[in-house]
Amino acid sequence: MTLAALLVAAFLAALGGTFAARRYALRMRLLDEPGARRSHSVATPRGGGIAIAGTWLLAWCLMSMMLDTPWVLAASVAGGVALVGGIGWMDDHRHVAPRDRLAVHAVAAAWLALAVWQVGAPAWCALVALVAVLVLVNVWNFMDGIDGLAASQAAIAASAYAWLGEGPGLVAAAAVLAAAALGFLPLNAPRARIFMGDVGSGTLGYVLAVLFTLSMVESRTAPAHWPVLLLPISAFLIDSSLTLLRRMVKRERWWTPHVTHAYQRLASHAGRHWPVSAGYGVWSVCVTLVGVGMWSSPPALTMGLLVGCCVTGALVWRWSGGLAADSTDVMDE
């Protein structure tokens, strides 16, 4: 099977799976109702991300066999998707306590870290894998709040890792994630007919953590250039980390739903979702293109680029704080 055929199959599988997930959600009454801590105004089915999770997991198992991926790595990644996606699927059906979700995420993170270490990567790469899973799974959950945002950002980031990837397995795994996320988007943007739910956001965060880690493990580029790998996910990292810090400083219940992220404030100000999702997409594409162009530049320029992006992102985040300050919800189109 060629990569092109695999990508077409992944797109169609995710698209068809999302339609099926929507019918299932409507039948089971799995609906996100509007509320003061929600960013939508109509009841919407959830759990559509099961199509992304299932598509990518099946493709990963197929690719692992075709490319002779070390069994310990193949098993840990597949198991991690099953764990993170599974607990998310449960939460989409009935509430699961945050500590229980975090415990499952920690098991998946530790399993991946152990596998990375066992395939010969340095111990610090295993630590990166552990932290990356815990951070990105929750970041994608935090940032999955308006139509098209989480899936489009995942597609862009996965495309970037496919572009920068140096091994055929990594390139294929990243490209398939991008194709699966794009297959979900027609029913999620510009106006959502289904949300991906925790099963989708958790899976996207976990797989992106895998791709981020493997991009470093397999890279033949000097470690000083690896910060460039943060650029495709910089929009989400900046928004979520600064918002989390602000809520913790103000002693708010930071783990509960809210509408104080920059993307939520911007969407409230715009009165619709798609311009904000598009704006985040433009940011991610632009910084990724610049990062790719500087992949082999002197380390000082690479770090300067990263710092410049962080400062710019922080300024945008701060500016958004003055928008819709008194708004309690975000209207859909």
Domain boundaries, the chain: 3-320
Q: Mean per-residue pLDDT for 236-240?
A: 94
Q: What type of residue sits at position 174?
A: A
Supply the pLDDT for residue 1: 62
Task: Tell me what percent of the chain is helix, strand and coil, each rounded to the nearest 5.
Answer: 75, 0, 25
pLDDT at 27 over 60: yes
pLDDT at 256 over 80: no
Supply the pLDDT for residue 308: 86
Q: Are 49 and 201 in contact (CB under 8 A)?
A: yes
Q: Mean per-residue pLDDT for 192-210?
A: 97
pLDDT at 105 over 60: yes
For Cα atoms 307, 309, 315, give the angle at the middle one, nearest 5 degrees.
Answer: 105
Q: Mean per-residue pLDDT for 58-87?
A: 95
Q: What is the mean pLDDT of the chain?
A: 89
pLDDT at 255 over 90: no
Q: Mean per-residue pLDDT for 188-212?
A: 96
pTM: 0.92
Select the more confidently predicted residue: 199 or 312: 199
Supply the pLDDT for residue 149: 96
Q: Position of tokens 């493709």?
A: 59
* Nearest residue to 214 via CA among 8, 70, 9: 70
Q: Which helix (H) or strand (E) holds 45?
A: strand 44-45
Q: 120-177, pLDDT tens digit by residue?
A: 999 999 999 999 999 999 999 999 989 999 999 999 999 999 998 888 899 999 999 9
Q: Mean per-residue pLDDT for 181-190?
A: 95
Query: Does residue 121 come out as left (phi exceeding 0), alpha (psi in the -120 to 50 range) or beta?
Result: beta
* Nearest residue to 209 via CA among 147, 140, 146, 267: 140
pLDDT at 315 over 90: no
Q: Mean per-residue pLDDT for 10-39?
A: 89
Q: Is residue 323 very low, low, confident or very high in pLDDT (cuts 50, 70, 90)?
A: low
* Nearest residue to 60 via CA among 107, 119, 13: 13
Task: Kindly give, in sequence order, each residue whose CB lies less than 8 Å from that of residue 283, ignoring residues fewer than 6 positions away.
Answer: 234, 235, 313
**pLDDT > 70 in the chain, percent:** 92
